[in-house]
Chain A
Amino acid sequence: MDLNITVNGEPWALDVAPADVLLDVLREQAAVKSPKIGCERGDCGSCTIIMDSRTVRSCLVLAIEADGHEITTVEGLSFDGLSQLQNLFLANNSFQCGFCAPGIVLAATELLERTPNPSRHDVQEALAGNLCRCTGYEPIIEAVLAAGDGGAS
């Protein structure tokens, strides 16, 4: 089946099978590796991508469902230097192993676009679908709150 998607601004014309999952197609055919395979059932959030300005779990989306859609991954945020949020994550040593980071960066980016000055509760809610086993979340939440205070990018 033909699949036409835009990934980080670049158009891709791909051939996929009906059962192919978007996560696998992005990683194996569209040159982005930041969405990670963590649970393959929508529990962990490490495969999070932004599809048309909303975060989705790409392990729960059939590739063909993304036909005609625009996809952003964390690679796409970094072409013109890091975003303010990414810089705050960096300065705050927010992440440890970093496996969940691409998903969390995108989830927090989406939050700040909708809610430029989020409360702690807003941040917790926005990140509740992205599991992190290393940090205890606190240094991540702190950085997102700081991005909010500064008028998020």
Chain B
Amino acid sequence: MTTTYPFEAESPSEDLTTVGTPAVRIDGIDKISGAAQFVDDIDFGPGLLYAAVVESPHAYARILSIDTTEAEAADGVVRIATGKDFPYKFGMYMEDRYIFAQDYVRFVGEQVAAVIARSHREAVRAAKLVKVEYEVLAPLLDPKAAVADGADLIHPELGNYTHVPWFFPEADTNIAHWRKIRKGDTEKAFSEADFVLEDTYHVPRYAHCAIEPHVTVSRLDHAGRLTVWTASQSPHTQRHLFAEALAPLGFTHKDVRVITPYVGGGFGGKAGVSMEIIGAAMATLVKGRPIKLRWTREQEFYNTYQRQGVVAELKVGVMNDGTITAVEHKLYWDAGAYVEYGANVVNAAGLSATGPYRVPNITNDSLCVYTNLPPGGPYRGFGYSEFHFGLESHMDRIAEAIGMDAVEFRKKNAIVEGDELAYGAHMNPSGMLEAIEKTADAINWGVEEQSDNPNTVIGKGMALFWKAPAMPPNASSASFLKFNEDGSINITVSGMELGQGYLTVMAQIASEVLAVPVDKIRVETPDTDRNPYEWQTVASHVTWSSGLAVEKAAVEARSKIFDVIHQVYGFEDDSLYLEDEAVKCKTDPTFSKPLSDFVIEGIQTDDGTWRGGPIIASGKFMPEFTNANSDPATGQGGHPNVHYTVGATGVVLEVDKQTGRIWVRKAALAVDAGRAINPDLVKGQITGGLVQGLATVLFEDMRFDEGGKMMNPTFTDYKIPTAFDIPDEIIPIIVEVPQPDGPFGARGVGEHTMIAAAPVIGNAVYNALGVRITSMPITQEKVAMSYLAKITFESNQEE
């Protein structure tokens, strides 16, 4: 059984000239010449004001009073904003957050007030003079403690919060959402299974660490127009949330304009709305003056979305022939103080926590738990990176326990097209088996390798991954396309160029349909006044969704072009085709009309009159087969995900038995891109995502003290990879099993490449040393201590 897709994209199998080629990025020259403009690079003239935020030093406290008298008198101060100015809630999927804290602060770093001053230095200085009196409360920092009976309620009003219909908050608890999946009979399956393995895995919080910090400039002009320049993945969603939150002040969507130039890395951290709403609100207090708010690196760590921590209790049952019969996965998410976005991470994980396997009996519980840590939110992988660590570690352990090769075990159970998913819909076409085989080959799976160094051991590991875009069922994309006099094209879309190569891919899709070379197509970053709607650049969905919108616009432009030719020359539309920037005719090989002759001016007919005119077109895409309605108790009945992208990761590593140091010698990653519109860019996602994922397992880790304060909010103490910290060799492998409704068969790959990085290291360390580490990160210290414990235990046994 397969999904019926209402829209059939251009055939993936036809001869292609641009799609599938490693075109040079259209934004490449901007970036290597210094021309690329990011928000902080825009000049706003001498009127620019600066803001600094007053932050809570406590993880949980009641605000007793705020005294701004001294700060107001400080040099350069223009205005101070507090929660009293903006008693308005906002939120992406659940409205649980205020622009500034109202009566309570719920994490260290939460904004209590903000100072607007004539210089950055004066703003920072005055912010320190704002006096806030608190009644300090005991924070809840652990999700298991927060769900325990009698735990304090972090949001006593939870039962009254507005949220999307697919969330199920438990009023009078700290559980903001509980995604349940019940399929088959897990209890019976476990009792009948030949082998059952149960364990708990721990994954801490992580930071995105885009090199560009969040920055926003906002200005309310004297005509009442609010313009916000932001480093954002989500210009239209930001406009929508600003307009909604500030509606009590009289703003409508047409009064709010969001402009998003190049973004210096997102990874989910710049999705939705976070600090930008502070800027948007403050602008309403100082008419006519732009206000800049830029997060410091420290704020970037503790007051933007963080990847949520999770405690994963996993139980899997199998038969002796290797068939998985049941999965029970209970995920306790440390979702932080506000879950307006993060609750959907929890939801996505709950729907898919079986991993890419065919499982007849499923019990998934994914609990979104409020804690007094910074708000959790989207991070590349969106919940999947987190639960794959335990799941894919578990699969290796089960294979070993029943005496099966870990790769054979995975191949036997890998989900394939038509298999039933946890929520009852069916799996899309997938190249999983090919991905497994190619990855295993690339690392010579099954061949033991010996180290020349007596102190080190070589280990190999494999892990699979899958992920579906997590979106509202009606998330949509749109595009406008226009020709210029010389036959060049401008396309406007509202997806964001985050570095993944989105603009280039959109140009390649239009190029393929219209036979205009990529270097004659300009695609630029959005301005919500001018560019058509896009939900957000998240979920690895824009190549697919926005790509379809661009493809449809290009197809519409093509049909308008053929229509003009038909009117003037009489050729039937179906005899016409585009090649080398010209219209040609199958029935008259001598006919060739360059696009530049007529796409603006039209074509003059024999009687001296003209036909045609400027060729303009639009396209939109919304998946019309999805729905998020399901039974809250079982998760059955809906079709929440559009499709899954799958793949496999393998590593060969060398580990020092005494020091625990790990060197990744070789890493291979195969991902089913459906169709790689630009193989160079897909390889870029593989290399970049893999290294980002490896860092989460090898050395990154957010640490909090007992008061809930992050202890390592700098690149000195929260280490991300340098040019030295990468595998000796990375082998990117592209698998192409077309997605039936993808543009030329394409589906997204951006997030997927980091998902299996953590378990693959865990599995390879086990393969090398025989120690299984069930908490991330797998640091040098943990490896050395675990191995020492193992050999000490073994030598004691011998005695």
A residues within 8 Å of B by Cβ? 27, 32-34, 36-41, 43-44, 46, 73-75, 78, 82, 86, 89-91, 93-102, 105, 123-125, 127-141
Q: B residues within 8 A CB of A41? A: 297, 714-716
A99 touching B722 in the complex, CB below 8 Å, given contacts A33-B41, A82-B32, A86-B33 = no
A39 touches B498 (CB 8 A): no
B36 touches A93 (CB 8 A): no
Interface assignment of B533: CB less than 8 Å from any CB of chain A:
no
Q: A97-B212, A135-B688 are in contact. List 18 more A-B contacts (CB 8 A).
A: A36-B40, A39-B714, A41-B714, A41-B715, A41-B716, A43-B716, A44-B297, A89-B32, A90-B24, A95-B28, A97-B211, A97-B262, A97-B263, A98-B27, A128-B722, A134-B265, A136-B691, A139-B683
B37 touches A93 (CB 8 A): no
Q: How far is the CA of A86 from the CA of B28 in the complex (A)?
A: 10
Q: Which of B362-370, B395-403, B723-731, B785-793 contacts A (4 or more CB under 8 A)?
A: B723-731
**Complex interface bits, B340-370 against A, C-beta within 8 A gives 1, otherwise 0:** 0000000000000000000000000000000
Could you give 21 example pairs across A and B, Cβ below 8 Å? A36-B264, A38-B213, A39-B297, A74-B33, A75-B34, A95-B28, A95-B31, A96-B499, A96-B688, A97-B264, A98-B499, A99-B212, A100-B211, A124-B722, A125-B724, A130-B723, A131-B211, A134-B499, A136-B721, A138-B726, A139-B687
A136 touches B690 (CB 8 A): yes
Q: A residues within 8 A CB of B499? A: 95-98, 134
User: Which of B33, B208, B267, B690 has the largest count of A CB atoms less than 10 A from its CB?
Assistant: B33
Instruction: Kindly identify which residue among A27, A96, A129, A136 contacts B726, using a CB–CB cutoff of 8 Å.
Output: A136
A135 to chain B, nearest CB (A): 5
B684 touches A96 (CB 8 A): yes
A133 touching B33 in the complex, CB below 8 Å, given contacts A38-B297, A96-B501, A125-B724 = no
B715 touches A43 (CB 8 A): yes
User: Which of A33, A74, A99 has the largest count of B CB atoms less than 10 A from its CB?
Assistant: A99
Interface assignment of B105: CB less than 8 Å from any CB of chain A:
no
A98 touches B36 (CB 8 A): yes
B692 touches A93 (CB 8 A): no
**Complex interface bits, B421-432 against A, C-beta within 8 A gives 1, otherwise 0:** 000000000000
Lowest 4 CB-CB distances: which A-B pairs, in order?
A98-B31, A96-B499, A99-B264, A97-B499
Closest A residue to B689 using CB positions? A136
Closest B residue to A91 using CB positions? B24
Closest A residue to B717 using CB positions? A43
Interface assignment of B313: CB less than 8 Å from any CB of chain A:
no
B487 to chain A, nearest CB (A): 24
Q: A residues within 8 A CB of B723? A: 123-125, 127-128, 130, 132, 137, 140-141
**Complex interface bits, B483-504 against A, C-beta within 8 A gives 1, otherwise 0:** 0000000000000001111000
Interface assignment of B438: CB less than 8 Å from any CB of chain A:
no
Instruction: Kindly identify which residue among A73, A90, A132 contacts B211, using a CB–CB cutoff of 8 Å.
Output: A132
Q: How far is the CA of A133 from the CA of B498 in the complex (A)?
A: 11
B606 to chain A, nearest CB (A): 48
B311 to chain A, nearest CB (A): 27
B684 touches A37 (CB 8 A): no
Q: A residues within 8 A CB of B28? A: 89-90, 93, 95
A33 touches B25 (CB 8 A): no
Residues of B603-641 at the interface with A, using a CB-CB cut-off of 8 Å, are none
Q: How far is the CA of A89 from the CA of B32 in the complex (A)?
A: 7
A136 touches B714 (CB 8 A): no
Instruction: Kindly identify which residue among B34, B680, B688 contacts A136, using a CB–CB cutoff of 8 Å.
Output: B688
Interface assignment of B197: CB less than 8 Å from any CB of chain A:
no
A93 touching B680 in the complex, CB below 8 Å, given contacts A33-B37, A34-B34, A98-B30 = yes
Q: A residues within 8 A CB of B40? A: 36-37
Q: B residues within 8 A CB of A100? A: 211
Interface assignment of B681: CB less than 8 Å from any CB of chain A:
yes
B34 touches A46 (CB 8 A): no
Residues of B707-738 at the interface with A, using a CB-CB cut-off of 8 Å, are 714-716, 720-724, 726, 730
Instruction: Kindly identify which residue among A37, A133, A138 contacts B730, using a CB–CB cutoff of 8 Å.
Output: A138
Q: B residues within 8 A CB of A90? A: 24-25, 28-29, 32
B256 to chain A, nearest CB (A): 26
